Amino acid sequence: MVAQGRPSREEAEEAVRTLLRWAGDDPTREGLLGTPDRVVRSYEEFFAGYASDPMELLARTFEETDGYDEMVVLRDIRFESYCEHHMVPIIGVAHVAYLPRSRVVGISKLARVVEVYAKRLQIQEKMTSQIANTIDEVLQPLGVAVVIEASHQCMTTRGVHKPGVSMVTSRMLGAFRNDPSTRREFLAMIGNPSPAGSMF
């Protein structure tokens, strides 16, 4: 998913120098000489998700489960992403579950799907849907549930300056959407992020 016409590394470093000058500093002073290179290398890590296909991560599945047909839940998957509006961090945890139809996937792959989507410019609502829709499309389970709880520095360090505020989003598909008891079981397993359970 790498954008066409991607600038060169040299152009990216020059863009950092431009921002430093715009901020009122001198990119040629000693303390900032290596900053453009360090920023670009950091961005390569922050946005590594554009170079990966989350669908491929789920391609290898297993059918030998000895009849296991209950919920699979991976909770407290910590992630760091970046707000696409302000390019500042979104830090939180994702809880992911699916109800197998016949195939299961290695649990590390669920965490990797979260990581791939997190390592892109994001809004939390979109990221929640992308994770759930990808798992649903590839595994075709009886249901998928994704809940994300995160703190947005675009809200805590600028604008309204409200530290300690977290945002909770959810995406429920299949049995998790249609069966209240299945949904309640999942929310109980993850500790129900919504105090009254009303968000879901």
Q: At 65, which CATH number?
A: 3.30.1130.10
Instruction: Please tell me whether residues 22 and 93 are part of one structural domain.
Output: no
Look at residue 56 and tell me if it is in a domain.
no
Task: Report if pTM > 0.85.
Answer: yes
For residues 97 and 131, the answer to whether their CB atoms sit within 8 Å is no
Q: Structural domain tally of the chain?
A: 2
Look at residue 199 and tell me if it is in a domain.
no
Catalytic residue check, 153: no
For residues 93 and 77, the answer to whether their CB atoms sit within 8 Å is yes
Domain enclosing residue 175, as ranges? 61-190
Q: Which residues are known binding-site members for Zn(2+)?
A: 83, 86, 154
Give the CATH number of the domain where residue 24 resides. 1.10.286.10
Q: Where are the alpha helices (DSSP H) in 47-174?
A: 54-57, 107-118, 124-139, 153-156
CA distance 139 to 64: 15
Look at residue 40 and tell me if it is in a domain.
yes
From the list 14, 84, 153, 185, the catalytic residue is 84
For residues 138 and 91, the answer to whether their CB atoms sit within 8 Å is no
Instruction: Please tell me whether residues 100 and 184 are part of one structural domain.
Output: yes
From the list 80, 86, 140, 185, the catalytic residue is 86
Q: Which of 172, 173, 175, 152 has its CA nearest to residue 164? A: 152
Confidence of residue 95 (pLDDT cuts 50, 70, 90): very high
Looking at residue 85, its pLDDT comes to 93
Instruction: Please tell me whether residues 27 and 93 are part of one structural domain.
Output: no
- pLDDT for 119 beyond 80: yes
Look at residue 174 and tell me if it is in a domain.
yes
Pair of tokens at residue 22: 């715009």
Q: Which of 172, 116, 180, 173 has its CA nearest to residue 147? A: 172
Looking at residue 198, its pLDDT comes to 38
Catalytic residue check, 95: no
Instruction: Please tell me whether residues 98 and 121 are part of one structural domain.
Output: yes
